Structure 1
Amino acid sequence: MVSQSGEVRLDLQKNVAVVTLDAPARRNALTPAMAQDLIEVFDEVDARRDVGALVVQAVGKSFCAGGDIATLTAAGRDPAEESAYEGMSTIYDSFFRLGQVSVPTVAAVRGSAVGAGMNLLLAADLRVVARDARLLCGFLKRGMHPGGGHFVLLSRLIGREAAAAMALFGEEIDGTRAHELGLAWETVDEGAVEDRARELAERVAADPELARAAVQNFRREAETAVSWEIATQFERPAQMWSMRRSASR
């Protein structure tokens, strides 16, 4: 499947949905149209019960350079103007929607990721990053306050100190440092990023039904810091369901 704009592709491989950003001329910066295409692709993934994991990757030298400059400039003239407000909201919604996809998600990151591009990779459940990747929050450098829940997305992975260094003080990191900080599960050579991400995705996608059940409770427990007692209650019905399912096979 190719999106209406032609800038988002969806391919299905061994129960894995591979979503590719394909606007290399502008370094995959998100326009409202491209963001809307992403949302529609994620909706399609959710509708397919044979899909058990999703990989988001990109063509070209950048994973995602953030929000498209023209979009940001137009919004800056009058952020409350209806079309500008809706356009920015759609960009926000695209990475929020990735975080709500009903299967485990992996971001395969090569090149640079800036601003909204950081939000996009942070919205995934797991990240595989090239050693020479360039990761930069970049909002303040552009004279903008971070948006889209950036502080939450970043700090829940790397903690307050590192999040302050990146989001407030403009520190840029590479893939090796991202791995050290806990922002990425693994850092590999640039040419191996997509293959490693798909390898991980195929493992969990082998049982799509179980993958969908497990990731919902994983997010509830890992992202909201619930108590051990509440986590037990989250997990009990899902575990009993999986045991009954296994016994009936």
Structure 2
Amino acid sequence: MHYESILFGIENGIAVLTLNRPDRLNSFTQAMHLEVRDALDRLQADRSVRVLVLTGAGRGFCAGQDLQDRAVAPGAPGVDLGESVERFYAPLVLTLKSLPMPVICAVNGVAAGAGANLALACDIVLAAKSASFIEAFCKLGLIPDTGGTWHLPRLIGQARATGLAMLGEKLSAEKAEEWGLIWACVPDETLMDQAMAMAEHFASAPTKGLAFTKKALQTSWANTLPEQLKLEGEMMRELGYSHDYREGVAAFIAKRPAQFKGE
């Protein structure tokens, strides 16, 4: 597929996907959804990829849905927003959560609506100091979709999640870090350098162990403690037979850098 709304590349085990509609603050259209889906399909088919970096072009990360792409006026027939969620936004979130590798989001500017919740669906979020997060749905008579109602209370608690969702106030990157909504707020000029340095670290890390860690943490919300302990045992049993575990132990004993294959 020829991409017009995104930039996508893979190099040295690192995939970088950039939302690229800067004139519209990288807001989603149906065409961009299809391009992102294609890129993620390519990523999953390439066994060399060990980490994904998601970011935006220009002064914003993502302003959510491009309302001009499904314009609706008072008195006009309504649109099936449920179909939009089911066809595009829900599969996108589920794909990011299920990728067997770390997903880093570098929020370079405003992340609003579905754009904010897209960032929260990633494993580690770095945000530029000038960035902000806005749950703008309440201003349109909607709810925080794209996993917002699931991620927000789990990340920052019910009270703060409710305030963000019902007031639609802008949350600065610094406050987002303070609240635990994101991993770190960093200087604007170092955002991508820090994101790529983290990606390089993950590209040489034991990818299968990280993938299992990601899955175990996500599963823990639905499991009882005995169920989670059983899952941990099953995962540790499988990882104990992996090359990367044996290599990690050998490197530790020999006091040398490990050479993980990311199997």
- TM (norm. structure 1) is 0.87
In the alignment, which of 217, 237, 240 is matched to residue 237 of structure 2? 240
SS of the aligned residue for 2:136 comes to coil
Contact 1:32–1:90 (CA under 8 A) maintained in structure 2: no
Q: Which amino acid aligns with 2:61?
A: F
Q: Which amino acid aligns with 1:211?
A: L
Change in CA separation of 1:248 and 1:141 when aligned onto 2, cut-off 3 Å: closer
Written as runs of structure 1 = structure 2, the 5 A alignment for 1:146-165 is: 146-165=144-163
Which structure would you say has the larger Rg? 2
Written as runs of structure 1 = structure 2, the 5 A alignment for 1:176-195 is: 176-195=174-193
Written as runs of structure 1 = structure 2, the 5 A alignment for 1:86-101 is: 86-92=83-89, 93-101=91-99
SS of the aligned residue for 1:43 comes to helix
Q: Which amino acid aligns with 1:78?
A: G
Q: Gaps (5+ residues) in structure 2? A: 248-263
Q: Gaps (5+ residues) in structure 1? A: none
State the 1:44 CA deviation.
1.7
How many percent identity over aligned positions?
28
Change in CA separation of 1:88 and 1:243 when aligned onto 2, cut-off 3 Å: closer
Number of the residue aligned with 2:59: 61
Q: Which amino acid aligns with 1:219?
A: Q
Q: Which stretch has the larger CA shift, 4-13 or 103-112?
A: 4-13
- Tell which has more relative contact order, 1 or 2 (C-alpha 8 A, sep 6+): 1
State the 1:19 CA deviation.
0.9
Contact 1:99–1:124 (CA under 8 A) maintained in structure 2: yes
Change in CA separation of 1:111 and 1:15 when aligned onto 2, cut-off 3 Å: same
- TM (norm. structure 2) is 0.83
Distance 1:209 1:49 in 2: 12
State the 1:15 CA deviation.
1.5
Distance 2:155 2:42 in 1: 28
Distance 2:212 2:143 in 1: 36
Change in CA separation of 1:71 and 1:77 when aligned onto 2, cut-off 3 Å: farther
Q: How many pairs are equivalent?
A: 242
State the 1:198 CA deviation.
2.2
Contact 1:205–1:211 (CA under 8 A) maintained in structure 2: no
Number of the residue aligned with 2:78: 78
What is the aligned-residue RMSD (CA, Å)? Answer: 2.2
Number of the residue aligned with 1:113: 111
SS of the aligned residue for 1:30 comes to coil
Q: Which amino acid aligns with 1:91?
A: F
Contact 2:85–2:146 (CA under 8 A) maintained in structure 1: no
Number of the residue aligned with 1:231: 228
Contact 1:27–1:60 (CA under 8 A) maintained in structure 2: yes
Number of the residue aligned with 2:212: 213
SS of the aligned residue for 1:168 comes to helix
Q: Which amino acid aligns with 1:125?
A: D
Contact 1:63–1:111 (CA under 8 A) maintained in structure 2: yes
Q: Which amino acid aligns with 1:60?
A: G
Change in CA separation of 1:13 and 1:5 when aligned onto 2, cut-off 3 Å: closer
Change in CA separation of 1:63 and 1:199 when aligned onto 2, cut-off 3 Å: same
In the alignment, which of 10, 13, 19 is matched to residue 11 of structure 2? 13
State the 1:88 CA deviation.
4.9
Change in CA separation of 1:244 and 1:154 when aligned onto 2, cut-off 3 Å: same
